[in-house]
Structure 1
Amino acid sequence: MELAPFCAEADAAAAWHQRRFFRIHLLQLVLVVAAAVVAAVPIPGTTQLVLGVLAAVFFGVSLVLRVVMAQWNDESGWYAARRAAESAKSLCYRYAFGATDFERSRAEEEVEKRFIEEFGTLGADVLLVDEAPRGDDYSEVTEEMRRARALEFESLRRRYFGERIEDQERWFSSRAVHHLRRSRRWITFMLIAEVAGLALAVLKATGQVPIDLGGFVGVMSALAAAFLAWTQLRQHSTLAASYRAQAVALRAYGRRLALLSEEEWPGFVAAVEGSLTAEHSRWQSLLGFGR
């Protein structure tokens, strides 16, 4: 269903901030590890002065990136845009499918006025980077949303199941699997680095190899720390559990769908949308961003 144009605009803003936020963080971690490598591991044909200057440059650029991140504040921009996008989508579905306060039995003028009032200044803290094409005004009510409201109850119920409950259940399920796999991958990388560091440290302590392994031990430590920092930043395991729980909740709503009467319908849609909104609030809390 075609939702309010603002939904696509806020989605684009969230994706833009998110990409820049993670790319800069990743680059910063790479620079820190690179600095550890050039400072700890001797490179044939390169003087200590050159290695020291390279390490200083890498650390310096990493520090500059940290200052840049603080100035751009992409994390807050990402969360604000995602919050606005999800709130707008939920409001559109509440309007289109007749949730509580948007019942289909009410006069269309009254319902549309309430929709506009609730939309209000939604996204006032969002920087739009890609504005959607519009008609002659800034109306957020689309013709598809109006047509959905006019459907017969059975058709409305089937459409809400397919476009909202099933769609979101599959999305949360797939994201849970994605984050679980990523969590296991980065933990494996971290364990490999730690085991390699342990092995190198034992070899250094026993003197069983003719070269100095101290620098390599430091590199493994830096890699393990970088993998841990990235894992904590992405919160893969925590998000996997949260998304799995939300998918289960949506399946429970889907099982109840066939038992609903038309009188119960507004409350049901409101409950589903409330569940999705609450999940988004939990997502922001998990990532350490208070509302």
Structure 2
Amino acid sequence: MAVTVGFEDFPALYRSADGNSIKGQRRHLLVTRFRLGALVTAAAFGVVALRAGGTDVAAVVASVAFGAALVSDVYMLRERPDRQWYAGRAVAESTKTLTWRYMVGGSPLGITDLDEEQAADLLLARFTEIESDVEPILLIPDHGSPEQVTEGMRRVRALPLEQRRELYLRSRIRNQQEWYGTKARWNERRATQWSVLLAVLELLGLTAGVLKAGGLIDIDLPGLVAALAAAGVAWVQTKQHQNLATAYAMAHHELATIGARIRHARTEEEWAGFVAGSEDAISREHTLWRASHS
């Protein structure tokens, strides 16, 4: 029966950082959507005349929308969910690559270089270095095991080289490669869709501008379309679809090449170097991701 590694087999540090990063991402994107929606709403009600009795309802709604956008800005500045997202992801990925090196015997945690306890001590020392670089609030623990070196990790490390190699190929390289491929295709589709949508908005803005210049419309429709286009551009910059599609595609193909060479590592020493190179390739993609979001 094939050996498997589940989420609960990873260190508490990884699970905590991963969970907090996901929470930060969700909050950041949710508040960004809310803010952009509020600004578009303010622009929409700013170009119409809507009165009830002696009250300019449109102006009231626009003011409320601007106030909502301001509140979201204050929240972003105070809570910094983007920092929770990025820093949490950095900790999670750094912890994950060290965990895989420990489990399968990758350098500097090779099987022939260190015995189990020496490797565990070095792993924990590296975890401590990672923890010291982030705020404790980003590492709120989950409800799983508090262990940093789990029984599942030790069990994998004790396996023969052939089984560790098969597990690493299936659960690390192929799994990561599939994830990159799926995300590359998804982001490419989104990039195309947003490009088309923004082009349509620009065409509408041009048409509205011509109509207003010709005196055929009285409302500031070009201003509204401009607000919609600006919100779209801001969202595209937040999501970075095209940059991510390119980075994920490159990582996908690089891992395909790495996977094809896995059988060349026949000894523990060769295997330790192979795993180190593979993990470095995965880490490079994450470095590019962080740079695109900084």
Scaled by the length of structure 1, the TM-score of the pair is 0.91
Amino acid at match of 1:108: E
Question: 1:125 deviation in Å?
Answer: 2.0
TM-aligned CA distance change 1:40 to 1:264, over 3 Å: same
Distance in 2 (CA, whole Å) between partners of 1:6 and 1:252 is: 30
* Residues 102, 130 of structure 1: alpha-carbon distance in 2 compared, 3 angstrom cutoff: closer
Task: Tell me if the contact between 1:239 and 1:283 (Cα under 8 Å) persists in the aligned partners.
Answer: yes
Matches within 5 A, 1:72-83: 72-83=79-90
**1:53 is matched with which residue?**
60
2:197 is aligned with 1:189: yes
Structure 1 counterpart of 2:181: 173
1:97 corresponding residue in structure 2 = 104
Distance 1:101 1:29 in 2: 47
Tell me the equivalent position of 1:206. Answer: 214
Contact 1:6 1:132 in 2 (8 A): no
Distance 2:168 2:239 in 1: 32
Tell me by how many angstroms 1:129 deviates.
4.4
Distance 2:244 2:157 in 1: 34
With 168-177 and 59-68 compared, the bigger mean Cα shift is at: 59-68
SS of the residue corresponding to residue 89 of structure 2 reads: helix
Query: Which residue of 152, 156, 159 maps to 2:160?
Result: 152
Q: Which amino acid aligns with 2:245?
A: A
Q: Take 2:271 and 2:144, find their aligned partners in 1: how far apart are those partners? A: 33
Q: Using the TM superposition, give the Cα deviation of residue 48 of structure 1 relative to its aligned residue in structure 2, in angstroms.
A: 6.9
2:258 aligned residue? 253
Q: Determine the structure 2 residue equivalent to 1:227.
A: 232
Query: What displacement does 1:128 show?
Result: 3.3
Identity of aligned residues (%): 34
Matched, 1:143 2:151: yes
Given that 2:187 and 2:241 are in contact with CA atoms closer than 8 Å, whether structure 1 keeps it comes out as: yes
Number of matched pairs = 282
Tell me if structure 1 keeps the 8 A contact 2:11–2:150: yes
Comparing 149-158 and 167-176, the one that deviates more: 149-158
Whether contact under 8 Å (2:51, 2:58) holds in the other structure is no
2:275 paired residue among 254, 269, 275: 269
CA distances 1:100-136 after superposition (whole Å, capped 9, x unpaired): 12111232221111111111143342523452332xx
Are the counterparts in 1 of residues 177 and 252 from structure 2 also a CA contact under 8 Å? yes
Q: Which residue of 1 aligns with 2:124?
A: 116
SS of 1:132 mapped into structure 2: coil
**1:12 and 2:22 correspond:** no
Tell me: CA distance 1:172–1:46, structure 2 relative to 1, closer, same or farther (3 Å): farther
Aligned residue for 1:131? 142
Shift of 1:203: 2.2
* Contact 1:6 1:88 (8 Å CA) reproduced: yes
Query: Compared with structure 1, are the counterparts of its residues 47 and 199 closer, same or farther at alpha carbon in structure 2 (3 Å cutoff)?
Result: farther
Normalized against structure 2, the TM-score is what? 0.90
Q: In structure 1, how many angstroms separate the alpha carbons of the residues matched to 2:21 and 2:78?
A: 17
Aligned residue among 275, 282, 286 for 1:280: 286
Shift of 1:6: 2.1
State the distance in 2 between where 1:218 and 1:190 align.
15
Match of 2:70 in 1: 63
Matches of 1:46 and 1:183, distance apart in 2: 46
Instruction: Tell me the distance in 2 between the aligned counterparts of 1:258 and 1:108.
Output: 25
Shift of 1:45: 6.0
SS at match of 1:131: coil
- Separation of aligned partners in 2, 1:18 and 1:145: 28
Measure, in 1, the Cα distance between the counterparts of 2:41 and 2:120. Answer: 57
Distance 1:164 1:44 in 2: 62
